[in-house]
Copies of this chain bind each other. A is one copy, B any other.
Amino acid sequence: MRLTLAVLALCLPALAQTPWRDQGLLHLAASPHARLHPVPVRSVTLQPGFWKARQDVAIGRSIPTLLALLEEKGTLDNFRRLSGPPAGGAPAVARRGPLYTDSDLYKWLEAAAWSLAVRPDPQLEATLDKTIATILAAQEPSGYLNTWFTGEREKLRWRQQTSGHELYCLGHLIQASIAYYRATGKRTLLDGAQRFVDYLLRDFGPAPKRPLLTGHPELELALAELYRTTGNRQCLQLAAYLFSGVEQERLKLRPRDLAYMFSGQPFTSRTAFEGHAVRALYAATGAADYYLETGDPGFRRTLDLLWADLSSSKMFVTGGVGSRPSDEAFGEPYELPNRQAYTESCAAIAGLLFNQRLLAATGEAKYAAPMERALYNGINSGMSSSGTLYCYRNPLAATAKDRIRNPWYDTCCCPPNLQRTFAALGAYYYSTSREGLWVHFYDNSTLDWRLESGAPLKAVVKTGQPWRGDVEITLRPSKQEEFTLFLRIPDWSLKTRLSINGRPAPEAPAPGAYLALKRVWTPGDTVALTLDMETRLVYANPRVPEDNGKAALQRGPLVYMLEQPDNPGPSVFDVALDHAAPIAARFQPALLGGVTVLTHRGLAYTRPLDAAPLYSFQPAVPARPTNLTFVPYYAFHDRGPAGMTVWVPVR
């Protein structure tokens, strides 16, 4: 009880400092090592355009249908059966689903909470309140809350830390509770999550307390955000303990566990990503959060090493991550197979979160580039245009035999992960810093927020992105204000044009960097960018075995693919790009909800390659001209399973 009072005492100043409504997507306002501070989710409203269409589907269709599925599959009943069971008796209904289903509901709750922040919906809010009551009714007086390790499995509690997902579920509970708090100001779930954390703080930690391990990292980032929300520094210390790797002996961890979990050994002893991609990237994300709060130079060194490893040899061109179905794991450097790619939606999102933290720490555009790559491609592909089919895997090549888009997965981590990303999307677009406002991604949207001086600031972005290169930003400070507007010039925009209030700037901004425009801004000032929308061939490092001699097409932030429905001629695996022939772009409003298609006079092999020998002393040469049509990768299999490939040989 003493501890709880102490916690509350510690919370109050931080909470007083920033009202719940004003806390950012990540609440970094007081984080000493954050250069950038994300804006609140509620402060950005998407306007009609590319991403609003996706957000509309996510909020209007995907979130409600997933709740129905979670009900149908028993995920909520797993909580209900624990509240008010017959005295002394076992619950009447059996628990359903694998041991981590609690986290699916929590992540769905987080998604629904962020949707409330951008689009208030009293009926949904009432559903959430009821759901939260259902969850908390299953919480034990101790604070413990997990529907798997309860009843007949209570004796297994904390005995299966490498595989049990107890802390993973808690992490998502915390994140859901924070989202709901920031969306509504309601603390019920937040207090429940804190009670569980208090239970951990009481009993677990370095000897003589009981040992603790995140077998599936995730709690680490949640603890950091909980600290930012409540001000209770013990949460951060618990994260530090989880990163310390001091429990290898007490928990009898094997080297294979340490690699697979990316946990259990000192985080600062890591030099490369390995093991389960989502675990590793969540761990690194949590470590980046820890760095944002502490500035620990050992963490920074490790984060830099890991980021370099990821971005130089382990990321797909779609921003997808994770090469091996076996162990859902990273592979060796450059092991980036296209059809066998595991590229779990959750891993692409984890990569987004990892880069989001490093971007906040530094303001360096090199961290925003892979965020954009993932958002537009390898994350966007994870939810169908209908909002009811999801990808667990997002490979870069597939056949008509591959069933990749499905309405349900027993391991239902990806669908709500996609939903929470789309629901909160606008808050990824903007940050503030002491210097001014940062715009990371250009999408039709309005920002209603303030500078860090406290001066109110609205901004309106109008753009044809990702199909056209025009971007117009109108700034509406409440009065004249001097600050810097940081505009990210994407690495793919090799020739960018800039004008301010209609006056063209003499010099072209450099790609792959933030353009810093420092001046006194008057309400109504406009900045216009014309991004370079030339279609480009992307080449992979020749060390990537499967992409040698091939190219992918990229136009703006979008990676394209050849898919069979658009190419009624030869198999998409039997053609090549002609490097001398042009690529034309044309917007087709009726196709795939409206996309720019790319057409090209390419080359086909004279006979289908599946009738050609496996090995030959003469190379097969694609010599027959053929028309090729490319569409954006994110829509793969949206029209059903079909042959599909991102990388195409170049002649």
Contacts and interface: CB of A to CB of B under 8 A. Distances in A.
A131 interface: no
Contacts of A622: 542
A300 to B, nearest CB: 22
A300 B205 CA distance: 67
Given A545-B338, A605-B542, A537 B614 contact: no
The 7 closest A-B pairs by CB, nearest first: A549-B549, A539-B619, A326-B326, A545-B546, A543-B609, A536-B617, A548-B549
A135 interface: no
B614 A311 contact: yes
A620 B539 CA distance: 8
SS class of chain A's interface: helix, strand, loop or mixed?
loop
A544 B614 CA distance: 8
A625 interface: no
Given A311-B614, A614-B312, A615-B538, A573 B335 contact: no
A39 interface: no
A614 B373 CA distance: 13
A541 interface: yes
B317 A541 contact: no
A614 to B, nearest CB: 5
B609 A541 contact: yes
A539 B618 contact: yes
Contact of A337 (B315, B337, B540): B337
Q: Tell which of A540, A545, A548, A605 has the most Cβ of chain B within 10 Å.
A: A545
Q: Tell which of A312, A332, A619, A622 has the most Cβ of chain B within 10 Å.
A: A619
Given A325-B326, A335-B340, A539-B619, A315 B546 contact: no
Contacts of A619: 537, 539, 551
Interface in A523-548: 536-546, 548
A333 interface: yes
Contacts of A548: 546, 548-550, 649
Given A536-B617, A543-B610, 7 more contacts: A312-B613, A313-B614, A332-B399, A339-B545, A541-B609, A542-B609, A546-B546
A136 to B, nearest CB: 40
A612 interface: yes
Given A333-B610, A546-B545, A610-B333, A539 B617 contact: yes
B610 A317 contact: no
A541 B611 CA distance: 10
A616 interface: yes
A397 B334 CA distance: 13
A540 B619 CA distance: 8
Contacts of A649: 542, 548-549
A545 B615 contact: no
A546 B338 CA distance: 10
A317 B616 CA distance: 10
Contacts of A620: 539, 541-542
Given A540-B615, A614-B544, A616-B539, A335 B325 contact: no
Contacts of A549: 548-550, 649
B333 A339 contact: no
Q: Tell which of A325, A539, A612 has the most Cβ of chain B within 10 Å.
A: A539
Given A335-B340, A339-B335, A340-B335, A614 B541 contact: yes
